[in-house]
Structure 1
Amino acid sequence: MMLELSLEGLNVLLLGEPGATRQALARYRREGAVVAHLASPAAFLRAGLPGRVSLVAVVAPSVRPGAGGRVHDGVWQGIVDHYRAAGVPVVREPAAGSRGVVTLVGGGCGAEGLLTRDALDALRDADVVLYDRLGPWESLPALSTAELVDVGKLPGHHKVPQEEINALLVEQARAGANVVRLKGGDPYVFGRGSEELDACTAANVPVRVVSGVSSAIAVPAAAGIPVTQRGVSHCFTVISGHAPLSSAEHAHLAGLGGTLVVLMGVANLPHLAAGLRRAGMANSTPLAVIERGHHVDQRVTLTELGRAERDTAGCGNPAVIVIGDVVRQAPDSGARLVAHATAVDTA
């Protein structure tokens, strides 16, 4: 069961050690609660228990089942029982994330709903979040009380070079922060996540990886395009399109069959399309460009390989390109593929 409760002006008693409660304390204060924080049972007993309490929040790192199936709140149990007997609701908050660690989090393709539970937990427990523009960065103020640092990258322009991002991760962790590096898609799919992991490992900074939903699959799906389909395509190949490919690479891709998914490839699409045609891929091969997938302004352009340069001239990043017969599965795609490419809002 999930209940929504306005905390504005509400008297909240927060129970827990300072290190464990740092993020919960920030969350309650951000929502306007009047928070009394008790760091130890002894301190409470000396000062006396607050009388005007509307909600008790317990941060107990070692919560365990008690007798009769009840949750046991450790050293706080007596205080919790006191307020529960008085009719005060009791909630439990997770302990803050460990200090001095880095978590590489895959944020999906920008839609908050594609964040995994592990990703949400990592953001909630973070002290610092380094984010880029391809993850759900606009939702961060509601998902985390952390310090937010924009290290976003644009095609051809890196606001913060990768080497500086690596150094920032290590620096913040060594300073005692719980650090999240929020990346678009999955950290290990053209995301340079392995470079960031290597930098942390070399500096003896603990690091873990939270996988994310890759735009290579999620964005075509948002346009109604499966990357594989029985009887149509039994495989799919994902490539980075940010740099031009060689003639040998074009020939290899043209001979693979199946579905070709291109990430970061809008700028080089004319070069890619021409190279695939020279390598023998048919002009009639369906092609789709899905811009801003899973966003309210998502746009899908459907065409064929032979008309790709002309029909996709107005497309821009972020976008995913899909080449192959599966593109015909896009809603009502048949008529548009026979006639001419049309930009369609699919949100």
Structure 2
Amino acid sequence: MEKLGAAKETSFWWEIFDYIQVTVTISGCLANILTMVTLVKSAHRFSRLIKILLQHQSLVDACVCACATALILQPNMWLPGNMIGDHLICYVWHSQAAYWGLVAVSSYNLVLIALERYLAICRPFAHTRCSECSRKSLAKYGVWLYACCLFFTHGCYIHTRLTKGRCESAYAVEGKWVKAYFTTFVIFIYLTTYLIPALTMMLLYSMLGHQLRKRKGNSELGQSKTIDRATEQLTKTAVTVTIIFILSVGYDLHYFLLAYNLHVIEYTIGSPVQKVGVFLSNLNSVVNPFVYASLMPIYRKCVIETICPSRAKTEESNITSLTLRDLSNSSATLA
């Protein structure tokens, strides 16, 4: 009886946890959509390259939040009931291959943002050349990014099995080579999805920080105070997002590594520990818009203009009237 009561209590608390997750992920999805709309409407406030990267980051993060919400709310291992749909849902959706593919895209887009910040401050001429790339070239690089991320998560597609119309959390194939394959795959996905992006961003931001300190120490290297302040705010925002990525996404991948390589724990899709890992991975996509709002005043202003365009017009008209009044007073004084 005590065990049954404990199981019910545990189930109750995990249901509460799922409700919290859904609330957080829906909020993150809406916040990222608002970010996309804001960046589109206020495109002239940002440079072309960083605007594209931030828009893409918001799009991918919104998709991650939407996928996470659907994974939580769906019936356990549900299937549509037809052959093609059952195979796609079981091997692409329930295996979480699509979800982790989007997480990988989000990770490498953060790397591209770090690279853009590095070029903008340390290699301005190279940054100018990149900013002048055509949309066709940028789209081609985007296709390569998605193709690489789909390849990085290739092992997830056989992490579930379709048996007699049921999808199970078991290997889709059997054989002596499967264990060796998954051991190699776990190391591979840990390196490509987490460790390499994290180390790359740390390296780029360390060089960038050194350049900023050097610029502050030498007035001849400095630009105007306004440009330097905006650059510092944007860079600080990117660094904060990177730190959140390292702390949040790493949990589930470390858990994955411990389960399949060191065999310390068992990794089961839908288990409590795995749910916590997915929740932390979701936070990486949820918090980005709130970080932008906290550290970039220009972004906060753009969001207010997006939400309340009438207020923005009122403020603009007030500024214009004050400017005209100052000009008329100056003219009267000169006369």
TM-score range, shorter chain: under 0.3
Higher RCO structure (Cα 8 Å, ≥6 apart): 2
TM-score (norm 2): 0.19
- Structure with the higher helix share, 1 or 2: 2
Question: Larger strand proportion, structure 1 or 2?
Answer: 1
TM-score normalised by structure 1 residue count: 0.18
